[in-house]
């Protein structure tokens, strides 16, 4: 896989209690969440994951073949811990045939585009539709405009992203894996939006 396995100390041990429910929508104390990253090739999906899980950024990252897996646990403000099981998928169009394998049963779908590429924004919209149609019914969707550091060559306005996300009931954010801007924030926000079994305000 394009990205290596996560470091052992990160992936295990931090989380004492693990829910057996793979959709991760149970216990308020600790959640286990399957998250899938989708989006056009080269928009920086792997880089976002690497930044989030290892805090690294490699400008010359490898092409992801098929999909790659990493996991990371974070604590929310309400002291809930969320373990993200992240499937980072290959971006090329034809790999879409394999995508259902990875987004099936995912509780979170993160759809990434590159703010310097309108084409990747189009592709993002395709993925949104695909997940709305074939994803889990209560899937939490996030639209991410990556490479926000390249604002001088921006071609998709933030407003376009906001509008589209609003229309589809998604969470929207612009990030930069290079500068680490908004990366942790993205996952924190996703954590907050996860459905809890106990009726809690999911703000």
The nearer residue to other proteins, 19 or 176, going by C-beta atoms, is: 19
Token pair, residue 125, equals: 């919209």
Q: What is the dihedral of CA 96, 101, 103, 105, to 10 degrees?
A: 160
The nearer residue to other proteins, 3 or 165, going by C-beta atoms, is: 3
Contact between 149 and 168 under an 8 Å Cβ cutoff? The reply is no
- Of the candidates 166, 164, 171, the residue with the CA atom closest to the CA atom of residue 190: 171
* Distance, CA of 150 to CA of 168 (rounded, Å): 26
x/- mask, other proteins, residues 26-65, rule CB under 8 A, reads: ------x-x------xx---------------x-xxxxxx
Q: Which of 14, 26, 74, 95 binds other proteins (CB under 8 A)?
A: 95
Q: Does 8 bind other proteins (CB under 8 A)?
A: yes
Q: Does 147 bind other proteins (CB under 8 A)?
A: no
* Distance, CA of 172 to CA of 170 (rounded, Å): 6
Q: Does 153 bind other proteins (CB under 8 A)?
A: no
- 137 CB-near residues (< 8 Å, 6+ apart): none
Q: Does 22 bind other proteins (CB under 8 A)?
A: yes
Q: Does 102 bind other proteins (CB under 8 A)?
A: yes
Token pair, residue 141, equals: 């969707």
Q: Return the percent helix, strand and coil in the chain, to nearest 5.
A: 35, 25, 45
Q: Does 5 bind other proteins (CB under 8 A)?
A: yes
Where along the sequence are the contacts to other proteins (CB under 8 A)? 1-2, 4-8, 11-12, 18, 20, 22, 32, 34, 41-42, 58, 60-71, 83, 85, 87, 90-95, 97-98, 101-102, 105, 122, 126, 129, 133
């Amino acid at each position: 896989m394009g990205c290596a396995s996560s470091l052992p100390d990160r992936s295990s041990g931090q989380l004492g209690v693990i829910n057996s429910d793979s959709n991760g929508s149970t216990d308020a104390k600790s959640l286990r969440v399957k998250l899938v990253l989708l989006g056009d090739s080269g928009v920086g999906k792997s880089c976002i994951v690497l930044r989030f899980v290892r805090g690294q950024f490699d400008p010359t990252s490898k092409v992801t073949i098929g999909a790659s897996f990493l996991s990371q646990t974070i604590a929310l403000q309400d002291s809930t811990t969320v373990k993200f099981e992240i499937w980072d998928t290959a971006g090329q169009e034809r790999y879409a045939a394999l995508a259902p394998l990875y987004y099936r049963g995912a509780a979170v779908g993160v759809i990434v585009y590159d703010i310097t590429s309108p084409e990747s924004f189009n592709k993002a919209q395709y993925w949104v539709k695909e997940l709305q149609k074939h994803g889990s019914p209560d899937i939490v969707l996030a639209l991410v405009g990556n490479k926000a550091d390249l604002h001088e060559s921006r071609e998709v306005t933030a407003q376009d992203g906001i509008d589209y996300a609003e229309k589809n009931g998604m969470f929207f954010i612009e990030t930069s894996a290079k500068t680490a801007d908004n990366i942790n924030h993205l996952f924190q926000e996703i954590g907050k939006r996860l459905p809890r079994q106990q009726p809690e305000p999911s703000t």
